[in-house]
């Protein structure tokens, strides 16, 4: 099976024929500008020393400082971090943010660490990477397994090393230390805006009613609330342990209010009655992917019966599965667009930190709405003009912007 990075490159190559110019520069996107591997020593609470393996991939900075999250996960690999760094570069370019793309990861199950160990690990990662990150160089944010508290520790460590407060060094922080009031809900809200705009453009508003959502972490738990408030009927939700299904519709608000630690299995309302694999095969109007990469692939794509898919998870659909879905007229709202609300929210947090100011939650939502609506309009028109799908259109526009910036910067060597 192809690696996550290889599948991401395949999406890039699929979009290449739609490029208008600078094709000779395309190879710069086939490998990251810098990959840093780290070994982080942490004194555990039992007094023993443990070494944690991690990475920071700074993929491309033609459009601005590197930007991308840090994930703590027991199955994180260099290949995964590299693929996510490329996706971040493309995502930021696709939606018109003045950022490059990066990603970080540490191979660890954060649930196995106590708070002291987790703080030591977080600060240790910053200690090693300090010369290569910062508000004008590389701006990390939360991802899978990390949260605002971890970003607060990392920001504080960076500030201690700098000798002065550097709130713009990280985004996704708690609001009390310069974080955005809208950051936790930003990714979910951005995905909802993408769905809303696509339904308008395709004249499907009002026709898409039933929804299944895979993944009820930070992103999934917020988007199901937005969907519920907008009148969609959420019939199934799941996490890594299993899910809940009721064809009459789930009590979304009640369930979300009782989810403990992002785990549906710890919710007191009902017991899991559907597997993740079964959820993907439900006969629903809309399927939302808000878990990990590769969930819809060659082995299960023929079981998918949803009319539309909102890909909130980075790399949620593999290239071969994506081709199958396109041939069978299943509209996919791709990750490069659907999950970009979070980085738009991060951009306004970063901007406010530079200005020593703050934006209200309503201000940020309005800005996300404006960004996403404009981006969707450009992408949809480009897709119609070239007779390609939304993913290829978004990739093409992103690649063209990165390559044009590369040419203008004159950063290639003769």
Q: Which residues contact 151 (CB under 8 A, 6 or more apart)?
A: 140, 141, 142, 170, 171, 172, 173, 174, 179
| DSSP assignment letter at 280 | H
What is the Cα–Cα distance from 29 to 32, expressed in whole angstroms? Answer: 7
Task: Judge contact between 396 and 387, C-beta under 8 A.
Answer: no
DSSP-based three-state secondary structure for 45? coil
Q: How many CB atoms lie under 10 A from the CB of residue 261?
A: 8
Distance, in Å, from the CA atom of 268 to the CA atom of 260, rounded to the nearest integer, reads: 9
> Distance of CA 156 to CAs 104, 149, 159, 352, Å?
18, 11, 5, 18
Active site residues: 103
Residue 313: phi and psi, rounded to 5, are -80, 135
Distance separating alpha carbons of residues 8 and 90, to the nearest angstrom:
11
Under 8 Å between Cβ of 168 and 347: no
């Amino acid at each position: 099976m192809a690696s996550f990075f290889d599948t991401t490159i395949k999406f890039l190559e699929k979009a290449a024929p739609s490029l208008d110019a600078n094709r000779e520069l395309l190879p710069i996107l086939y490998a990251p500008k810098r990959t840093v591997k780290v070994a982080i020593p942490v004194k555990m609470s039992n007094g023993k020393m443990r070494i944690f393996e991690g990475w920071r991939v700074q993929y491309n900075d033609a459009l601005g400082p590197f930007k991308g999250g840090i994930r703590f996960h027991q199955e994180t690999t260099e290949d995964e971090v590299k693929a996510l760094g490329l996706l971040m570069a493309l995502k930021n370019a696709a939606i018109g943010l003045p950022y490059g793309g990066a990603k970080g990861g540490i191979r660890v199950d954060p649930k196995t660490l106590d708070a002291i160990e987790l703080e030591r690990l977080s600060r240790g990662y910053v200690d090693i990477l300090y010369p290569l990150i910062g508000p004008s160089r590389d701006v990390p944010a939360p991802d899978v397994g990390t949260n605002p508290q971890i970003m607060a520790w990392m920001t504080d460590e960076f500030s201690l090393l700098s000798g002065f407060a550097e709130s713009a060094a990280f985004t996704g922080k708690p609001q009390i230390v310069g974080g955005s009031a809208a950051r936790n809900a930003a990714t979910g809200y951005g995905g909802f805006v993408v769905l809303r705009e696509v339904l308008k453009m395709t004249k499907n508003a009002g026709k898409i009613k039933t929804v299944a959502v895979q993944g009820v972490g930070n992103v999934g738990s917020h988007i199901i609330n937005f969907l519920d408030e907008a009148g969609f009927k959420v019939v199934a939700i799941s996490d890594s342990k299993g899910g809940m299904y009721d064809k009459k519709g789930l009590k979304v608000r009640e369930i979300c209010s009782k989810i403990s630690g992002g785990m549906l299995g710890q919710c007191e309302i009902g017991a899991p009655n559907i597997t993740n694999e079964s959820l993907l095969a439900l006969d629903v109007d809309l399927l939302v992917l808000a878990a990990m990469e590769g969930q819809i692939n060659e082995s299960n794509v023929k079981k998918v019966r949803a009319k539309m898919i909102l890909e909130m998870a980075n790399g949620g659909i593999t290239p071969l599965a994506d081709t199958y879905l396109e041939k069978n007229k299943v509209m996919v709202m791709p990750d490069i667009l659907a999950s970009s609300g979070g980085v738009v929210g991060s951009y306004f947090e970063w901007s406010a930190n530079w200005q020593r100011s703050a934006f209200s939650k309503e201000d940020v939502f309005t800005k996300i709405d404006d960004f996403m609506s404009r981006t969707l309009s450009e992408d949809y028109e480009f897709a119609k003009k070239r007779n390609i799908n939304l993913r290829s259109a978004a990739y093409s526009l992103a690649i063209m912007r990165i390559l044009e910036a590369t040419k203008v910067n004159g950063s290639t060597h003769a």
